[in-house]
Amino acid sequence: MAVPLPPTPTPTATPTPKFIMWNQVKGTSYETSEKGRPTFLNIGKNYPDRSRFAVVIWGRNRSAFSTRPEVLY
């Protein structure tokens, strides 16, 4: 007597990762006089719009970029 095979699983869609495109950067600023020398990248909307998403790159991390972040983005 043959043993029935288990059902073949149905493939499910893999969710697409979410990311921010570089061209969604609406404004940048490098604050050399502020503590930590932050570079701000404003995503979606520019400062001072409160609905913007802001990325902060601290001065100590700027050397990780091939070009100054405020120019690159």
Task: For residue range 5-38, list pLDDT tens digits in order.
Answer: 778 777 777 776 677 777 889 999 999 999 999 9
The yes-or-no verdict on residue 3 having pLDDT over 80 is: no
What is the distance between the alpha carbons of residues 55 and 27, in angstroms, rounded to a whole number? Answer: 11
Task: To the nearest 10°, report the CA torsion of 41, 43, 48, 51.
Answer: -140
- What proportion of the chain, given as a percentage, has pLDDT over 70? 96
- Stated pTM of the model: 0.69
